[in-house]
């Protein structure tokens, strides 16, 4: 169903308002329990979050999305599903990680099809950079995972190079295929399904905090 044809509802329990966050975000307060926490950076329309939250009720999921139209659609979608273990916040991911996520509080980060900013002059806008990976490592629990997918080969090589700076703190591991991925998919997001139709190659990376 297209967003233009759908009246979006605002589900207050799903929507986490950035302006309401004062200091460090306490996941136990947000979800009402203490359990494993996964964060998706760039949630889009929420396809991954909906599928993963439904199949993994024992895990709490936080999605970060900047684009307001996708954020609103995702909130509506998750609210209609009646999911209890997922929240979505509209904000800039790098700032949230640096200022509002506690040390060693996250079990897994998911980064699927981030904007590659292909022009050389725009590379500084890429999410995967040494500063942001430093924050991800700080936020991860020991043994925590980072799961990444992209259709952009040059960005894939860029990411391998960036993560290479952290060899002593991360080790490369096997990519964990999300629950929503179908037989011919690695992730199962809307972007991936579009790229498969366009016959693009999909590249994955995965790391574990040592």
Going from N- to C-terminal start, the domains of the chain cover: 18-209
**Residue 70 and residue 84: Cα distance in Å, rounded?**
20
User: Where do runs of H (alpha helix) occur along 45-180?
Assistant: 47-55, 68-81, 93-100, 130-139, 153-164
Residue 29 falls in the annotated catalytic set: no
- Confidence grade of residue 103 (pLDDT, cut at 50, 70, 90): very high
Average pLDDT over residues 148-162: 96
Closest to 16 in 3D by CA, of 4, 8, 7, 26:
26
Q: Which of 115, 151, 184, 201 is catalytic?
A: 115
User: pTM for this structure?
Assistant: 0.93
Q: How confident is the model at residue 180 (pLDDT cuts 50, 70, 90)?
A: confident
What number of helices (H) and strands (E) belong to the chain? Answer: 7, 8
Query: Which residue has better confidence, 1 or 39?
Result: 39
The pLDDT score that the predictor gives to residue 1 is 42
Mean pLDDT of 161-184: 93
CATH superfamily of 18-209: Vaccinia Virus protein VP39 (3.40.50.150)
Q: How confident is the model at residue 65 (pLDDT cuts 50, 70, 90)?
A: very high
pLDDT tens digit string along 106-144? Answer: 999 999 999 999 999 999 999 999 999 999 999 999 999
Q: What is the mean pLDDT of the chain?
A: 93
pLDDT-based confidence at 5, cuts 50/70/90?
A: low
């Amino acid at each position: 169903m297209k967003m233009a044809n759908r009246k979006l509802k605002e589900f207050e329990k799903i929507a986490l308002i950035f302006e309401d966050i004062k200091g460090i975000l306490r996941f136990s307060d947000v979800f009402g329990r203490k359990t494993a926490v996964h964060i998706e950076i760039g949630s889009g329309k929420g396809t991954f979050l909906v599928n993963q939250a439904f199949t993994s009720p024992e895990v709490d999921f936080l999605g970060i999305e900047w684009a307001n139209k996708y954020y609103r659609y995702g909130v509506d979608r998750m609210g209609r599903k009646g999911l209890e273990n997922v929240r979505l916040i509209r904000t800039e991911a790098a700032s949230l990680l640096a200022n509002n996520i506690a040390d060693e509080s996250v079990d897994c980060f998911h980064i699927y099809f981030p904007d590659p900013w292909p022009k050389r002059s725009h590379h500084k806008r890429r999410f995967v950079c040494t500063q942001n990976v430093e924050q991800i490592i700080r936020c991860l629990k020991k043994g925590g995972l980072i799961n990444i997918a992209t259709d952009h080969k040059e960005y894939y090589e860029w990411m391998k190079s960036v993560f290479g700076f952290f060899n002593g703190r991360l080790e490369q591991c096997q990519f964990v295929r999300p629950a929503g991925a179908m037989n011919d998919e690695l992730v199962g997001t809307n972007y991936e399904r579009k790229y498969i139709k366009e016959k693009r190659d999909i590249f994955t990376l995965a790391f574990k905090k040592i």
